[in-house]
Amino acid sequence: MATAFRSPPHHRIRPPHEYHLDKRAADRLLTDVTALAESGVRPAEPEFYDRHWLDLELLPVGLRDFLWRFRMTESHAACVIRGLPVGDVETPPHWNVPHFLDRNLVEDTILALCAMCVGDPFARAGTQNGRMVQNILPTSLDRRDLHTECGSHTDYLAFLAMGECSAALASARDLDLDDPTRETLAQPRFRFSDGPAAVLSGDPADPYLRLDRCLPVDPEARLALDHLLASLDRLRPDVVLDAGSLLLLDNYRVAHGRLAGPWLKRITISRNLRRTPRGRIL
């Protein structure tokens, strides 16, 4: 029997779930993480994540609980942590300027520990020479269309704002689509880089979303994709991030557009790296 697809009732767009770190907790975190950052392996290296699981206790227990619930309940497509300590540092002219790479070890370490609370951080060998913590310097060449990240291992994306930034987001939960359109999008009628697949999957009432430069294989699929893109575009509010804000995205539940701002740090995260024999650098 075919699954009945039902459009969700009309409701306002849900903003990302938020956690606010107070100054006392931020100061304590800064002290503890500074000592860790000066102790050895850099978060840009895979070895950091294999050695420092016990150091997750440096994060406030409330923050760890917030991140754990984000992963386990899937009740939100995105969340924001505000008030993390970051230094007042100059934006690098390029991600690969040598003397900039190790100037933000404290910020890299905070981002790394938060990422480890929801899964296994990893990197791709062809992206910024396989650095685990990547420096994102938005340019006019960045993608503006709403999309999810390609690659079967990307479950979450974590961004730490080093200055005031904004991000366009649209959650699959808020889509306003009729049932025939949803049914078409849930069929493998869209060609991705790794073959044909569906755009919507999972629970029809609370679907997962895959949207990364796919090619519809027939006119009906093209029309359904056009409706999806139009619905996402109507949803795309800008989430404003100040320095010290961490944006965490569920890559199966939210599409994001261009990240506007001077500088962010990024980590990609998998829920389970046992699916690959190649470790943290894919």
- At 16 the pLDDT is 84
For the chain of 282 residues, list the mean pLDDT of each consecutive stretch of 10: 39 75 98 92 94 97 98 95 91 76 89 98 91 82 75 89 92 92 98 94 93 94 96 86 97 88 92 78 86
- At 26 the pLDDT is 98
d(CA 255, CA 99): 34
**What's the longest Cα–Cα distance across the chain?**
61
Tell me the CATH number for domain 17-164+242-273: 3.60.130.10
CATH 3.60.130.10 residue spans of the chain: 17-164+242-273
Look up the pTM and report it: 0.91
Cα 143 to Cα 146, 233, 252, distances in angstroms = 8, 14, 18
Q: Which residues contact 51 (CB under 8 A, 6 or more apart)?
A: 40, 41
Angle between helices 105-116 and 23-37 (to 10 degrees): 100
Helix, strand, or coil here: 189?
coil
